[in-house]
Amino acid sequence: MTYTKRLPKPVVEQWDWQLHGACRGQESAVFFHPDNERGPARRSRQARAKAVCQACPVIAQCRQHALSAREPFGVWGGLDEDERRAIFAKRSRQEHRRAA
């Protein structure tokens, strides 16, 4: 489940970027995997979602939201779940090294 305390406060200006997303009106199934999707089917679906993201005028805002909110599922800002987890892990290792 998404940790909502990290989410920005509900101010229209902070969420207005979503109105301009290339994904608006697209089937959510392109961005979120169905149960038990694996292998080539998953990679193909993710590639379709990422292609939409690459043409999106608000890709940076979407990616920032996904990383700030630690979105656990789907393609957000051109990053899939595994790519976001790798970013979180890298940040954690860097923070651990700084603290040591």
Task: Confirm or deny that 95 is annotated as ligand binding.
Answer: no
- Those residues with Cβ within 8 angstroms of residue 34's Cβ, 6 or more apart along the chain or in another chain: none
Contact 48, 30 (CB under 8 A): yes
DSSP state letter for 43: H
Which tokens go with 20? 């301009």
Task: Confirm or deny that 93 is annotated as ligand binding.
Answer: no
Question: Half-sphere exposure of residue 76, counting CA atoms within 13 Å on the CB side?
Answer: 19
Task: Confirm or deny that 62 is annotated as ligand binding.
Answer: yes
Task: Confirm or deny that 82 is annotated as ligand binding.
Answer: no
| Annotation: binding site for [4Fe-4S] cluster | 23, 53, 56, 62
| Annotation: binding site | 23, 53, 56, 62
